[in-house]
Structure 1
Amino acid sequence: MRNLLIPLVLCVTFAGCGAQGPATIPVSGVVTFDGKPLSGAMITFVPQGDTSGRGGLAQTDDEGKFVARTQDGKTIEGIAGLVPGQYKVLVNKLVKPDGTLFVPTEEQAPIDANAREVIPLPYSDFERTTLTAEVNEAVQPLTFELRSRRS
C-alpha cells in the first residue's frame, strides 16, 4: 500500500500528473499588408524571456483574421490560445511560381516546389522581425499592419 501512495503524493505535490500545461488566453487578430487583408499567411508566436510553453501558430483567412493556438494545436483547459507572456512574431507566406499559395508538407518542402517568401524580412525572418505581442488577460485582438518596402 505504501508503494502506491508515494507516486500519488508526488503527483499531487508537483501537480504534473494529467496536467496539460499552463492555462492559455484566447488570442485573435488581423494582419494587413499595405492596408489590405493578408490571406493565407502563417503566423508564428515565439516565446521570449520568462514566457513558458512552446509558442503558437495561426493562419489568416481571406479577411486577414486569425485565431492563435498552441504549437501542437491543442486547447488547454478548453481554451484555444497562447500562454500569457511576451512573444516574437513572424509572418510568412509562401507562394509557388504560378502565384498560388504553398503550404509545406512532410512530402514537399518549399525548395522542392520553388516556393518563395513574399513577406519582407522585417516581418518574416526570425532574426530581423520587428513584430512582438504581449499576451495577458487584457489582450485585445492583435493587429499587425505590414508594409512592403515600397510603401
Structure 2
Amino acid sequence: MIANQFLWTIFERSRGRLLVCGLMVFAGCAAPSDIDRIPVSGMVTVDGQPLDHGTIQFFPQGDTKGPMSGGRIANGRYQLDAITGPPPGQHLVRIAGKRKTGRMVQVPPDEYAPQGSVVEEMVDAVPERYNAKSELIHDVVAPSTELNFELKSK
C-alpha cells in the first residue's frame, strides 16, 4: 500500500513533465512542413546588458500563415535556423527571461531536491510588456534576418 502511494505521489508531481515530453515526442514525429521558414538570429539586451537565460517566440500576425516558432536565449544570443525559424511575414515577438539576484534561497523538498537544499534566487528580468503583454511587432523577410532587441526595464 505504501509503495502504491509513493508511486502515485511521484506520478502526481511529474504529470506535467510527462505531458510536455509526450507532446515533444509527438511533435518530433510530425511530417515535414511545406511552410517556408526564415533563419533569424540576434542579440537580446535588457538595459544594455545581455539577457543571461530566456526564450524568444514569434507568433504570426495578420495575413502571415504558419506556426509559431521560438528558441532559447543564452548569453544574450538566440538563433533559429531555416527549419525552426518563423515563416516570412509579420510576427508578435514575446521575450521572457530570468536573472540571478545573488541571494541563496531554500527550495521545498521534492524528488529532485532533498530537505535543506538551497539555490541561487532567480527573478524575472524582462517586463511583461515584452512577454505576456507584448506589443513587439516585427517583419521577418528572406533570405535571413538579424533581429536585435534592446529592452528597457523601466
TM-score, length basis structure 1: 0.60
Q: 2:79 maps to what in 1?
A: 67
More strand by share: 2
Deviations 1:74-123 (A, max 9, x none): x6xxx4422111100111124688769xxxxxxxxxxxxx9753311211
Change (3 A) 1:32 1:84: same
Question: How far apart, CA to CA, are the structure 2 residues paired with 1:37 and 1:116?
Answer: 15
**What are the residue-to-residue correspondences of 1:59-138 with 2, within 5 Å?**
59-62=72-75, 64-68=76-80, 79-94=83-98, 117-125=124-132, 128-137=133-142
Aligned to 2:149: 144
Aligned-pair Cα RMSD in Å: 3.0
Aligned to 1:22: 35
Q: Distance in 2 between matches of 1:57 and 1:80?
A: 7
What do residues 50-88 of structure 1 show as CA deviations (whole Å, max 9, x unaligned)?
A: 1111211121121x111136xxxxx6xxx4422111100
Q: Which amino acid aligns with 1:131?
A: L
Q: Is the helix fraction higher in 1 or 2? A: 2
| Partner secondary structure for residue 22 of structure 1 | coil
- What are structure 2's unaligned runs of at least 5 residues? 1-30, 105-120
1:57 alignment counterpart: 70
Distance 2:77 2:100 in 1: 22
Q: How many residues align?
A: 111
